[in-house]
Structure 1
Amino acid sequence: MQIQINTDSNIDGGEDLIRRASDRISGILERFESQLTRIEAHLSDQNAHKGGPEDKQCVLEARPNGQPPVAVTHRAETVEDAYTGAADSMANLLDSRFGRLHQTKGGESIRHLPVE
Structure 2
Amino acid sequence: MKIQVNSDNHIESTSRLEEWVSTTVESALAHYDEHITRVEVHLSDENGDKPGPDDMRCQMEARPKGHQPISVTHKASSLDQAVEGAATKLNHALEHMFGKLRNKRGGAHALDSDEPSSNPDALLQEEFLENDQALHS
**Alignment TM-score > 0.5, same fold:** yes
Q: Which has the higher strand share?
A: 1
Q: Which residue of 1 aligns with 2:115?
A: none
Shift of residue 102, structure 1, vs aligned partner:
1.4
Report 1:55-66 matches (<5 A).
Answer: 55-66=55-66
Q: Which runs of 5+ in 2 are unaligned?
A: 110-137
Distance in 2, matches of 1:26 and 1:85, equals: 14
Distance in 1, matches of 2:44 and 2:107, equals: 46
Q: Letter of the aligned partner of 2:67 in structure 1?
A: Q
Q: Letter of the aligned partner of 2:73 in structure 1?
A: T
Identical-pair percentage? 38
Shift of residue 80, structure 1, vs aligned partner:
1.1
SS at match of 1:51: coil
The number of residue pairs the alignment matches comes to 108
Deviations 1:26-54 (A, max 9, x none): 10011111110000000000001321111
Q: Which runs of 5+ in 1 are unaligned?
A: 109-116
Q: Does 1:90 align with 2:90?
A: yes
TM norm structure 2: 0.75
Distance in 1, matches of 2:101 and 2:76, equals: 31
Distance in 2, matches of 1:48 and 1:30, equals: 33
Distance in 1, matches of 2:107 and 2:88, equals: 31
Q: Does 1:48 align with 2:55?
A: no
